[in-house]
């Protein structure tokens, strides 16, 4: 059963009034965040030509170590799924059972799919792991419909959360990141969303997993067993980060329109945390080359 469409002070699909409490001062969304007013090119020599936009943020000092076109609106591909996961974790319960409808059918050529069918069911905990590790678009649909009641209501929740976080250069039209001209974000907004995600232990636990074995039920109650490998090249061992940098996890995204994209949480030699983003690289190798160039700045 989907959760209630009413959450917080906002009822989905309705108009609402906000009445301030006398004597209560609201904390601005930017408190505790890095604010960027212009491009920042690290040591002054690094120019990432293999991507359209890139960002490296020192979370402890709340400053940009590197910033290139961070407010340019671009297609996020499956980096969208960090917001999908955030909404699901905030408003769902790990053991709630999600049941697939016809909406899990995704027809776009080349779309990554777990292969679930209408009538199949799994827990939210299972679905989140398949979503974030394997980037399954059908599982994004499953989560959206069961958490939001309808996919449209879930997308409304995504956009409302983006506004709450100050991600004003972002607009979502789906929960999976498949290409749509009205579905876009920026590197800076992805930092804001990801920064919120890593406040949740479940999210941090999932993005560090190398693989996940799922056992769920089909429409006839029979067990289905599938194994999923993390698409993050640093976690699955396909690529090595620079020396003295520890990659804790993140999310990949790839479509023809978006190019190759990646967002990461990492630590420098002293254990200080950083968020890094690379958007619209032409190739997978180019993506990880650009990301390694960013990560090398952590220990400078």
- pTM of the entire structure? 0.88
CA 17 from centroid of its chain's CA atoms: 30
Catalytic residue (choose from 53, 68, 121, 135): 135
Are 210 and 236 in contact by the 8 Å Cβ rule? The answer is yes
Residue 62 and residue 103: Cα distance in Å, rounded? 41
Residue 14: inside a domain: no
Q: CA dist 198 to 50, 136, 171, 251, 263, Å?
A: 27, 21, 21, 12, 12
Q: List the catalytic residue out of 53, 78, 121, 293.
A: 78
Does 26 map to a domain?
Answer: no
Count other Cβ atoms within 10 Å, centred on residue 33: 17
Q: Given this model, what pLDDT does residue 47 score?
A: 74
Whether 262 is covered by a domain: the verdict is yes
Average per-residue pLDDT in the chain?
A: 89
Residue with tokens 């407010």: 71
- Angle subtended at Cα 195 by Cα 193 and Cα 197, rounded to the nearest 5 degrees: 70
Rounded to 5°, the CA angle 198-204-167 comes to 25
Encoded tokens for 40: 């920042």
The pair of three-digit structure tokens given for residue 105, joined into one six-digit string: 């059918």
**Active site (annotated) includes residue 217:** no
pLDDT in tens, 21-71: 333 333 444 567 888 766 777 666 677 889 999 999 999 999 999 999 999
> Catalytic residue at 53?
no
Domain assignment of residue 4, yes or no: no
**Is residue 23 in some structural domain?**
no
Overall number of domains in the chain:
1
Reply yes or no on whether 78 is catalytic: yes
- Consecutive 10-residue runs of the chain (300 residues): their mean pLDDT? 34 31 42 75 75 96 94 98 98 98 90 95 98 98 98 98 97 97 98 98 98 96 96 98 98 97 98 98 97 95
Whether residue 229 lies inside any domain: the answer is: yes
| Catalytic residue chosen out of the listed positions 81, 251, 276, 290 | 81
13 domain residue, yes or no:
no
CATH number (domain holding residue 135): 3.40.710.10
What is the C-alpha separation between 100 and 98, in angstroms, rounded?
7
Helix axes 187-197, 151-165, angle to 10 degrees: 100
For residue 160, give its domain range. Answer: 37-299
7: in domain: no
């Amino acid at each position: 059963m989907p959760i209630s469409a009413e959450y917080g002070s906002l009822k989905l699909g309705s108009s609402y009034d906000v009445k301030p409490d006398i004597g209560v001062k609201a904390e601005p969304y930017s408190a505790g965040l890095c604010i960027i007013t212009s491009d920042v090119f690290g040591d002054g020599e690094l120019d990432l030509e293999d991507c359209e936009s890139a960002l490296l943020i020192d979370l402890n000092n709340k400053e940009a170590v590197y910033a290139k076109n961070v407010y340019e609106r671009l297609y996020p591909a499956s980096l969208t799924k960090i917001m999908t996961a955030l909404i699901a974790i905030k408003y769902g319960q790990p053991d709630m059972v999600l049941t697939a409808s016809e909406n899990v059918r995704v027809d776009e050529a080349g779309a990554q799919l777990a292969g679930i069918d209408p009538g199949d069911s799994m827990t939210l905990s299972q679905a989140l792991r398949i979503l974030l590790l394997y980037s399954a678009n059908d599982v994004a649909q499953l989560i959206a419909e069961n958490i939001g009641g309808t996919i449209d209501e879930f997308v409304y929740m995504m956009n409302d959360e983006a506004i709450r976080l100050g991600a004003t250069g972002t607009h979502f039209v789906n929960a999976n990141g498949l290409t749509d001209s009205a579905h876009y974000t920026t590197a800076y907004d992805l930092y804001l969303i990801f920064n919120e995600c890593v406040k949740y232990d479940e999210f941090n636990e999932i993005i560090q997993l190398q693989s996940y074995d799922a056992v769920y039920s089909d429409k006839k109650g029979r067990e289905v067993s599938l194994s999923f490998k993390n698409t993050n090249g640093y976690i699955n061992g396909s690529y090595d980060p620079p020396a003295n940098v520890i990659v804790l996890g993140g999310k990949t995204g790839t479509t023809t329109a978006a190019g190759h994209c990646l967002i990461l949480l990492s630590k420098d030699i002293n254990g200080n945390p950083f968020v890094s983003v690379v958007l619209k690289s032409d190739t997978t190798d180019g993506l990880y080359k650009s990301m390694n160039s960013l990560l090398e700045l952590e220990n400078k």
